[in-house]
Amino acid sequence: MAPTATTTTAAAEQQQQHPRKAVGLAAHDASGHLSPIRISRRNTGDDDVAVKVLYCGICHSDLHTIKNDWRNAIYPVVPGHEIAGVVTEVGKNVAGLAAGDRVGVGCMVNACRACESCQEGAENYCARVVLTYNSRDADGAVTRGGYSDLVVADARFVVRFPDSLPLDAGAPLLCAGATVYAPMRRHGLGAPGSHVGVIGLGGLGHVAVKFARAFGAAKVTVISTSPGKREEALERLGADAFVLSTDAAEMKAAVGTMHGIINTASAAASLHPYLALLKPHGKMILLGIPNKPLQVSAFALIGGGKTLAGSCMASISETQEMLDFAAEHGVAADVEVVGAGEVNKAMERLAKGDVRYRFVIDVGNTIKAD
């Protein structure tokens, strides 16, 4: 798909600082409509890696951002933080990566490197973290994501793709996979013998089911609003049980049975019926980021001594660990690969929960300069 020139003042200024030409897909307003755009990237610095993007997953955060759900969009937004590709160039200080290597870039491209979180290797909790798109880089430029043919990132924020992991089905692991893997490990969800619930069978949810299985959970239950996902959850994804959250009898039967719940719902719903599914001392990990505040009654937590926790992305070391674990255990996303011309339709379907289970853009073949 050929880009049309977009020359806003901000884009022109960014191009002066960033001499490398690239093309991508951008949303220009809260309609979220994505259209071709010419952008620019910085030259490969001494600590940088240039990556030819081959595939990029479509995360629901991309949709939230282009629709300005979180009121923080800096248009034009070039989304994409599930980036899989091949290294084309490395800076002179970069060790361990070389042209031709298969790599991934996830949700972050930089952090302050000095704060307590950075020092302990939790860059995802750095107050000055630079997100892969819709964020301000150290040079003041707005970051642009992987719905584009080229990204340039500091090598410390680039992860290595294990040989056996396909780039298309592996791309969604860079956000969805890492985001569920890190808290499941940290909080012991999916530990052998445990019963894990997964709310929302979408991009994050379906890989949470797969990781829980791979960790050795005794039982994995999907809690979904979509009756049409029951058979697939049980037969294709390996869940042991499926609870339709709109069915009072099914929900009642599951009350007090789960050690932990991963909540990936992208829209706000009362937490109370879901918290009731936890055993005493059970934990719910909140990952979804609805645009409306969630309300929770104190009684829903104190009765049963339950924990409600949040988690955001994953550190770089957790992301690399997750990719290596995924390769070893045969975990990858179920993907629908789409071309650039189908991205707006894919976004419409994602908004309706109609995706099995992650759209991935075939960037290498469909987002190219003329």
Ligand X SMILES: O=C/C=C/c1ccc(O)c(O)c1
Residues that bind ligand X (CB under 6 A): 59, 61, 107, 131, 175, 289, 312-313
> If binding is defined by CB under 5 A, does position 343 make contact with Zn ion?
no
Q: Which is nearer to Zn ion, 122 or 277 (CB)?
A: 122
122 in Cβ contact with 311 (< 8 Å): no
Using CB under 5 A as the binding rule, the residues of this chain from 174 to 233 that contact Zn ion are 175
Stretch that binds ligand NDP, among 19-27, 134-142, 236-244, 261-269 (CB under 6 A): 261-269
> If binding is defined by CB under 6 A, does position 229 make contact with ligand NDP?
yes
The one-letter amino acid at 289 = I
Give me the least distance between CB of 81 and ligand NDP, in Å please.
9
Among 23, 66, 118, 338, binds Zn ion (CB under 5 A): 118
Q: Read out DSSP for 183-223? A: HHHHHTTT-TT-EEEEE--SHHHHHHHHHHHHHT-SEEEEE
Residue 160: enclosing H or E segment and its boundaries? strand 159-160
Give me the least distance between CB of 210 and Zn ion, in Å please.
17
What number of CA atoms fall less than 13 Å from residue 86's CA on the CB side?
A: 8
Cα–Cα dist 126/172, whole Å = 23
Cα–Cα dist 294/247, whole Å = 22
> If binding is defined by CB under 5 A, does position 294 make contact with Zn ion?
no
Cα–Cα dist 213/201, whole Å = 15
DSSP letter assigned to residue 148: B
Among 6, 35, 225, 344, binds ligand NDP (CB under 6 A): 225
Give me the least distance between CB of 74 and ligand NDP, in Å please.
17
Cα–Cα dist 36/17, whole Å = 21
> If binding is defined by CB under 5 A, does position 111 make contact with Zn ion?
yes
272 in Cβ contact with 294 (< 8 Å): no
The one-letter amino acid at 307 = T
158 in Cβ contact with 97 (< 8 Å): yes
Give me the least distance between CB of 126 and Zn ion, in Å please.
3
Cα–Cα dist 359/208, whole Å = 17
Q: Which is nearer to Zn ion, 49 or 126 (CB)?
A: 126
Give me the least distance between CB of 156 and ligand X, in Å please.
18
Task: Give one word for 219, left, alpha or beta, with left for phi > 0 and alpha for psi -120 to 50.
Answer: beta
What residue number has its CB nearest to ligand NDP?
202
> If binding is defined by CB under 6 A, does position 284 make contact with ligand NDP?
no
Residue 204 interacting entry, from ligand X, ligand NDP, Zn ion, none, C-beta within 5 to 8 Å by type: ligand NDP
Give me the least distance between CB of 313 and ligand X, in Å please.
5
> If binding is defined by CB under 6 A, does position 210 make contact with ligand NDP?
no
DSSP letter assigned to residue 90: E
Give me the least distance between CB of 236 and ligand X, in Å please.
24
Residue 237 interacting entry, from ligand NDP, ligand X, Zn ion, none, C-beta within 5 to 8 Å by type: none
Residues near ligand NDP (CB under 6 A) = 59-61, 64, 175-176, 179, 200-205, 224-226, 229, 264-267, 269, 287-289, 311-313, 350, 353
